[in-house]
C-alpha cells in the first residue's frame, strides 16, 4: 500500500487534528513517511494566525506540483484554518488547480468522505462550510507525540481579541461532555501515556456553553483522580478566567503539571484594552503572584504581541517591565500581523515593520537574560523528569522542558517519572542526580 506525509502548521490543536487525519489514512492501509518523494498522499494542515504562516504554506504547497506530474496517483489535500477563509481557499484553487481536496476547519471533520471520493472515484473536492461542525465522539487517532497525548476539551473561541483570526476560522466555543473526556483520559492512562494535555483556545471557559456541565478546575480534579502515574497539562488559558480555584487545584493535585502558560500579550493597559483582553496588567500580575505564592516552583511561560496599533515606546516599556517583574521561564514574542476581518485590521496608527522588529528582538533578548539568571538559581530544585533520546543521546527532560544530564543512565527506563535534583548549572548545561524513584 502507499505512504502518506502530513505537514502540520500552527498550534497544538492542529497537531492533534493531524493525528486524526493520520488515523483515517492508516485505516485505508497507508503508512507514514517523512520523505516527500515517496508519498502517495500529501496533506497540508494549515494555519493563518499570522501573515508569515500563510505565505510559507502557499510556497510549500507550490513546491509539490512537480511530484503530481511524477506520480499520477498522488493525492494532495489542504485543510485547516487557512482554507476556512473562503477568499484564501478560492485563491489557492485558482493558483494550484491540481490540488485534489480543499476544505476548511468547519468541514474537516468529514475528511474521510472527501478522501474516499478522491481515492476511490478520482474526484476533486472544494468545500468550505459556513457553520461549525457538531462535536463528534469516538474518533480514532494515530498519536504521534511520544509520552504525551492531546485531548480536546473545547473547540472554537468566543473571546474575539481584536487582533485574532481564530474565532472566525474555528467558530463559537463548544465543550465536549466531561464524561467523554474523562473516559478518553482513563483509556490513555491505561495505554501507558505519561502526560495528558487538555486542549482548547480558552480552557478556563470549559463548560460555559452547557448548563449542566462541571467547571474546568473540577474537570482537572476528576482527571487527576484516575489511577496511574501521569501528569496533566492544559493549553491555553485566558488570564481573565484564570481563577483562584484553578490555582488551588494546580497547587494541591500532585498530578497537575506545575508549568503554566498564561498568555499576557502586552504589559500596557491601553493596549490590553484595544486588544479586548478584558484584564489589566494589575489583574494579571496579581494572578502571577498568587501562582508563585501557592506553588513553590511554578514554571511560567507566556505569549506577547509587539507593535499592535497605537503601541508607543512607553507601552512597550510597560511590556518589558512586566516581563522583568514576572520572571518567566520562557516566552513567545510575535510581531503584530494584520488579519483580514478582525477589528484591529481597521485600526489606524499601525506600527512600522522596523519598529516591530526592533521591539521583538529587544523583548526576546531581555527574556534570554532572565532565563539564564533563572537557570543559575535552579541548583537544589527537584523536577519530575522522563528519560528521552535527543540526537542519539539520553537526557532527562522535566515537564517544564528543562534538559538535565545525569552522570549515568544505568537502570533508568523510558516512560517512567523520576525525581531529579539539579546539582550544578554551567552555561547551558544543567546536571542533576536522581532523588528517588517514583
Residues that bind ligand SF4 (CB under 6 A): 157, 159-161, 164, 166-167, 201-202, 238
Site for ligand F3S, rule CB under 6 A: 10-11, 13-14, 47-49, 81, 165-166, 169-170
Contact yes or no for 237/262 (Cβ under 8 A): yes
Nearer Cβ to ligand SF4, position 231 or 339? Answer: 339
10 binds, among ligand F3S, ligand SF4, ligand SAH, none (CB under 5 to 8 A by kind): ligand F3S
Residue 64 DSSP class: T
135 binds, among ligand SF4, ligand SAH, ligand F3S, none (CB under 5 to 8 A by kind): none
CA distance 106 to 214: 26
Nearer Cβ to ligand SAH, position 240 or 292? Answer: 240
Under the criterion CB under 6 A, does residue 263 sit at the interface with ligand SAH?
Answer: yes
Cβ-closest position to ligand F3S: 10
3-state secondary structure of 174: strand
Nearer Cβ to ligand F3S, position 167 or 239? Answer: 167
* Orientation angle between helical segments 353-376 and 313-326, nearest 10 degrees: 20
167 binds, among ligand SAH, ligand F3S, ligand SF4, none (CB under 5 to 8 A by kind): ligand SF4
Residue 46: count other Cβ atoms within 10 Å of its Cβ: 31
81 binds, among ligand SAH, ligand SF4, ligand F3S, none (CB under 5 to 8 A by kind): ligand F3S
Cα dist. 109→8, 114, 139, 148, 302 in Å? 16, 10, 10, 23, 30
Under the criterion CB under 6 A, does residue 201 sit at the interface with ligand SAH?
Answer: yes
Query: What is 51-79 written as a DSSP string?
Result: HHHHHHHHHHHHTTHHHHHH-TT-EEEEE
395 binds, among ligand F3S, ligand SAH, ligand SF4, none (CB under 5 to 8 A by kind): none
Cα dist. 434→381, 387, 402 in Å? 12, 12, 15
50 binds, among ligand SAH, ligand F3S, ligand SF4, none (CB under 5 to 8 A by kind): ligand SAH
Under the criterion CB under 6 A, does residue 115 sit at the interface with ligand SAH?
Answer: no
What is the closest distance, in whole angstroms, from the C-beta atom of residue 54 to ligand SAH in the complex?
A: 11
Under the criterion CB under 6 A, does residue 164 sit at the interface with ligand SAH?
Answer: yes
Under the criterion CB under 6 A, does residue 303 sit at the interface with ligand SAH?
Answer: yes
160 binds, among ligand F3S, ligand SF4, ligand SAH, none (CB under 5 to 8 A by kind): ligand SF4
Under the criterion CB under 6 A, does residue 155 sit at the interface with ligand SAH?
Answer: no
Q: Nearest-CA neighbor of 414 among 192, 223, 256?
A: 192
Nearer Cβ to ligand SAH, position 275 or 378? Answer: 275
Contact yes or no for 253/265 (Cβ under 8 A): no
Contact yes or no for 337/360 (Cβ under 8 A): no
Residue 319 DSSP class: H
The interface region with ligand SAH, picked from 162-170, 184-192, 248-256, 372-380 by CB under 6 A, is 162-170
Angle at 236 between CA 235 and CA 242, to 5 degrees: 120
What is the closest distance, in whole angstroms, from the C-beta atom of residue 124 to ligand SAH in the complex?
A: 31
Q: Nearest-CA neighbor of 152 among 137, 142, 166?
A: 137
336 binds, among ligand F3S, ligand SF4, ligand SAH, none (CB under 5 to 8 A by kind): ligand SAH
Backbone angles phi, psi at 186, to 5 degrees: -60, -45
Residue 98 in grid coordinates? 491540481
Backbone angles phi, psi at 154, to 5 degrees: -135, 160
13 binds, among ligand F3S, ligand SAH, ligand SF4, none (CB under 5 to 8 A by kind): ligand F3S
In sequence order, the β-bridge partners of residue 48 are none
Under the criterion CB under 6 A, does residue 163 sit at the interface with ligand SAH?
Answer: yes
Contact yes or no for 202/235 (Cβ under 8 A): no
What is the closest distance, in whole angstroms, from the C-beta atom of residue 392 to ligand SAH in the complex?
A: 33
Contact yes or no for 311/333 (Cβ under 8 A): no
Give me the residues that bind ligand SAH (CB under 6 A), please. Answer: 49-50, 163-164, 166, 201-202, 236, 238, 263, 265, 303, 305, 334, 336-337, 339
Amino acid at each position: 500500500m502507499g505512504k502518506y506525509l502530513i505537514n502540520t502548521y500552527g498550534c497544538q490543536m492542529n497537531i492533534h487534528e493531524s493525528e486524526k487525519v493520520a488515523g483515517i489514512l492508516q485505516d485505508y492501509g497507508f503508512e507514514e513517511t517523512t520523505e516527500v518523494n515517496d508519498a502517495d498522499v500529501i496533506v497540508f494542515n494549515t494555519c493563518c494566525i499570522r501573515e508569515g504562516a500563510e505565505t510559507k504554506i502557499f510556497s510549500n504547497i507550490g513546491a509539490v506540483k512537480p511530484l503530481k506530474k511524477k506520480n499520477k496517483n498522488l493525492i494532495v489535500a489542504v485543510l485547516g484554518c487557512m482554507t476556512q477563509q473562503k477568499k484564501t481557499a478560492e485563491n489557492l484553487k485558482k493558483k494550484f488547480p491540481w490540488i485534489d481536496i480543499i476544505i476548511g476547519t468547519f468541514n474537516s471533520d468529514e475528511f474521510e468522505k472527501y478522501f474516499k471520493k478522491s481515492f476511490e472515484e478520482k474526484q476533486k473536492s472544494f468545500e468550505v462550510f459556513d457553520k461549525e461542525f457538531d462535536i463528534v465522539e469516538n474518533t480514532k487517532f494515530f498519536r504521534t507525540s511520544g509520552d504525551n497525548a492531546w485531548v480536546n476539551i473545547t473547540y472554537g473561541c468566543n473571546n474575539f481579541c481584536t487582533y485574532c483570526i481564530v474565532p472566525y476560522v474555528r467558530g463559537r466555543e463548544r465543550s465536549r461532555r466531561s464524561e467523554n473526556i474523562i473516559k478518553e483520559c482513563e483509556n490513555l492512562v491505561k495505554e501507558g501515556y505519561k502526560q495528558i494535555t487538555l486542549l482548547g483556545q480558552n480552557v478556563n471557559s470549559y463548560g460555559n456553553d452547557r448548563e449542566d456541565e462541571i467547571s474546568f478546575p473540577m474537570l482537572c480534579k476528576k482527571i487527576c483522580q484516575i489511577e496511574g502515574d501521569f501528569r496533566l497539562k492544559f493549553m491555553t488559558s485566558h488570564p481573565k478566567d484564570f481563577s483562584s480555584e484553578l490555582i488551588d487545584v494546580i497547587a494541591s493535585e500532585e498530578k497537575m503539571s506545575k508549568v503554566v502558560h498564561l498568555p499576557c500579550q502586552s504589559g500596557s493597559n491601553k493596549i490590553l484594552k484595544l486588544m479586548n483582553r478584558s484584564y489589566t496588567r494589575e489583574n494579571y500580575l496579581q494572578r502571577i503572584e498568587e501562582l508563585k505564592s501557592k506553588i513553590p516552583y511554578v514554571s511560567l511561560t507566556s505569549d506577547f504581541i509587539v507593535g499592535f496599533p497605537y503601541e508607543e515606546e512607553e507601552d512597550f516599556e510597560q511590556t518589558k517591565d512586566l516581563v522583568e517583574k514576572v520572571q518567566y521561564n520562557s516566552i513567545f514574542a510575535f510581531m503584530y500581523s494584520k488579519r483580514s476581518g478582525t477589528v484591529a485590521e481597521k485600526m489606524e496608527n499601525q506600527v512600522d515593520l522596523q519598529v516591530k522588529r526592533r521591539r521583538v528582538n529587544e523583548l526576546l533578548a531581555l527574556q534570554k537574560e532572565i532565563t539564564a539568571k533563572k537557570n543559575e538559581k535552579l541548583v537544589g530544585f527537584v523536577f519530575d523528569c522522563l528519560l528521552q533520546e535527543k540526537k542519539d543521546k539520553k537526557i532527562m527532560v522535566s515537564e517544564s522542558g528543562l534538559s538535565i544530564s545525569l552522570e549515568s543512565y544505568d537502570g533508568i527506563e523510558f516512560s517512567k517519572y523520576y525525581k531529579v535534583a539539579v546539582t550544578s548549572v554551567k552555561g547551558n548545561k544543567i546536571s542533576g542526580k536522581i532523588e528517588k524513584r517514583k
